Amino acid sequence: MSQIFPRSANTISRVSIVGAVLLIGLLLGLVYELGASPWVTRQYVAREQPIQFSHERHVAGNGIDCRYCHTSVEQSRFAGIPPTKTCMNCHSQIFSNAPFLEPVRASFNSNKPLRWTRVHDLPDFVYFDHSIHVSKGVGCTTCHGQVDRMPLMWQNSTLQMAWCLDCHRNPERNVRPRSEVFSVSYQPPSSQHEVTVNGKTFTDQVEMGKALVAEYQIQKLTSCSTCHR
């Protein structure tokens, strides 16, 4: 009986199978990379706001503490958006007639709040509590980046689940002394920079982090119900 398929058919079939597997793997990799890219996460994208508020000017230039505007960050799951009155505490005296601040004055006079665009906007199915992270020694800049260098606010982190889980699994990499939570100039301990906590000096972040994890009784919570309630 003559051979139906040529001998090359075996080679072609093997190459086709391997090629299909590699193609599928490549497509899955591309989908993963696309999902984590700024095009999807909007990471590093400055958001348009009703007033082009500069954290760089107010934090670095004027030395305003985060809690002056975000008043509920230590007691509530929400950091809080400042009412217009907070802006007018200063701007009734400083730049009081500046044209670019007219929306602020109009909001204050009409008692209608400004409609800010949320920069860090988690999905509705995700539960996040600012107060517990602050009390456990997670600094503002750990998640929000160096806001003192942002003329316009952008999302510094991906805010994706993998990013959250990385910190939950390894909190010692990011935790800092509670006294430094709101510091934008804080530097973690290193061979060039010492940090003293409770009379003990550290030159390594992980070493200090492990001590703080024990002191602050930080649990490595990674169960689904921690964030998805």
Task: Encode pLDDT of 52-96 as tens digits.
Answer: 899 999 999 999 999 999 999 999 999 999 999 999 999 999 999
- The Cα 174–Cα 163 span in angstroms is 12
Task: Encode pLDDT of 119-146 as tens digits.
Answer: 999 999 999 999 999 999 999 999 999 9
Nearest in space to 157 (alpha carbons), one of 45, 20, 33: 45
Q: How many CB atoms lie within 10 A of CB 90?
A: 14
Q: Domain-by-domain residue ranges, the chain?
A: 1-35, 38-81+116-227
Confidence at residue 191, expressed as pLDDT on a 0 to 100 scale: 94
Residue 209 tokens read as 């982090």
